[in-house]
Chain A
Amino acid sequence: MYSEKVLDHFSNPRNVGEMADPDATGEFGSSHCGDTIKVFLKVEDGVIQDIKFKTFGCAAAIASSSMMTEMVRGMTIEEALQLTNEMVAEALDGLPPEKMHCSCLAADGLHKAISNYRDGIR
């Protein structure tokens, strides 16, 4: 049911964990299924220098979170705001249709963290 990439990111998630001194954090919970992500950002000159996440959710949610962090590290925050859930799912070689909503979490969590960053909320 899951692609090799999903299974890989699920078993060995990249950038998982917390950050001691983040420039911003963002938490987002799916109202659909309760899956929840917390994103930690380190931003320098408008560029995402470091990103970490913690996710409560199914394999699709965890893999999407991991893939999202790999995709946006090194991006400017403007570029990162362009990232969509579909792009994350595509980078994972797709998700089962009933699991598409689980990838929403990753992009939405990221966008939340960026908007907190802009508002100066840590």
Chain B
Amino acid sequence: MRRIYLDNNATTAVRPEVLEGMLPFFTEAFGNPSSLHWAGRQASPAIEQARREVAALINAKEEEIVFTSCGSEGDNLALKGTVEALQSRGNHIITTAVEHPAVLDTCRFLEKKGVEVTYLPVDREGLLDLDRLERAITSRTILISVMWANNETGVLFPIREIGALARKHQVRFFTDAVQAAGRVPVDVEEAQVDLLSLSGHKIGAPKGVGILYIRKGNPLAPLIHGGHQERRRRAGTHNVAGIVGLGIACRKAAEELETVPTRVTVLRDRLQNGIVSLIPEIKVNGALGLRLPNTLNLCFAGIEGEALLLRLDMEGIAASSGSACTSGSLGMSHVLEAMQVNPLLGQSSVRFSLGRNTTSEDIDRVLEVLPPSVQKLRDMSPFWKAGSRCCAVCLSQ
């Protein structure tokens, strides 16, 4: 069976160029970059080369890049490291209700330690109210943490405007750019970002490597103590091959930023328009003009998202769902909940996230498989009354 992968927001395959570039660092160039001998000397320039490539993608300086093990580590380091370093200045963080769990759960952990956290709401389209953000800033505020792009809906936040606000009030600004970096232009100078996390496996590098960008003059307490690596900002022997892979992936993403997003947008829009015209009672989640090029999140009224995913999987199509009755609490994702999606409708959400390898034929195939799969599930749903548009109520809300 033909396999179609439309879950690139979950992870991506390692690019062939990336794999090829990494391979020597498992065998002949295996040295520890901290070692002074010949073996170490093979590894350390490769790390510095990767650092330049990552820095170039986000317009940072090399010394502002700290290699981490993943996006979650970057998020934890940014939040916990700031709270620890700035405890004499204040104890208030402003974030949003729709962040990735790596940010939200860290904030909840910090709340238990006495930190005050404001979780800004979003509107029905998933957008923030910037006035509200500004009003939330107090003299005790030490950090604003707002993701660049939402992983479930693809909604892009106004990072430049938030950066300007943060600068005006002299509050540190952290953005989780795990879904954005390499997919849309990300410039830490233009956006006046102080901290930014990025993860390799979302952009064709392997799992187990990421970075935290730390603007000069923004000291952080480390999460991992130990050796002198990364200017004492992150101890631990470098994941040399992974870091090399991340460098190549960032260089490739930067080279393709003019072409790939445009192509992917066309395919995503064709998928979206096809679904909306072929299947009744569909809700597209997230502000239409303000999304990542590759992400499409929809509700299929009357059916449960996971059941639809399994039907698609049986046809070789991999997508994902924010809803899962395993997650308890009525199975709706916290993102759709924050967007005030009707709870019943919210359980029917499915996310398609395209990649640089997605083809027009892939989209054709999904548009062929999806309508009968949805119909079959709707036919067995007590909430779907054929002809009477059961969920009109949910959709009109």
* Residue A110, interface by CB 8 Å: no
A34 touches B331 (CB 8 A): yes
User: Residues 18-34 of chain A: 1 if any B CB is under 8 Å from the residue's CB, otherwise 0?
Assistant: 00000000010010111
Closest to B343 in A: A34
Question: Looking at chain A's contact residues, is the secondary structure mostly helix, strand, loop, or mixed?
Answer: mixed
Q: Could you tell me the dominant secondary structure of chain B's interface residues?
A: helix
Looking at the complex, which of A53-61, A73-81, A112-120 is the stretch in contact with chain B? A53-61
From 1 to 35 in chain A, residues with beta carbon under 8 angstroms from any chain B beta carbon are 2, 7, 10-11, 13, 16-17, 27, 30, 32-35
Tell me the B207-250 residues at the A interface (CB within 8 Å): none
Q: Please give the number of chain B residues whose Cβ is less than 8 angstroms from any Cβ of chain A in the complex.
A: 22
- CB contact between B382 and one of A7, A38, A59, A99 (< 8 Å): that residue: A38
Q: A58 near B382 (CB under 8 angstroms)?
A: no
Q: Interface size of A by Cβ–Cβ distance < 8 Å?
A: 30
Do B347 and A62 touch across chains, with their CB atoms under 8 A apart? Answer: no
Selected contact of B328 from candidates A10, A32, A37, CB within 8 Å:
A32
For the complex, is B102 an interface residue (Cβ under 8 Å from A)?
no
Q: Is the CB of A55 within 8 A of B380?
A: yes
Given A33-B328, A34-B325, A98-B326, A59 contacting B347 (CB threshold 8 A): no
Taking a contact as CB atoms closer than 8 A, the residue among A7, A13, A54, A57 that contacts B325 in the complex is A57
Q: Which residues of B contact A2 (CB under 8 A)?
A: 310
Question: Residues of A contacting B302 with CB < 8 Å?
Answer: 56
Interface 0/1 of B305-332, CB less than 8 Å to A: 0110011001000000000111010110
Given A17-B379, A36-B382, 14 additional A-B pairs, CB 8 A: A7-B310, A16-B379, A16-B380, A33-B325, A33-B326, A34-B330, A53-B380, A54-B380, A56-B383, A57-B307, A58-B304, A58-B310, A59-B307, A61-B307
| Residue A102 is within 8 A (CB to CB) of chain B in the complex | yes
Interface residues of B in 272-312 (CB under 8 A from A): 302-304, 306-307, 310-311
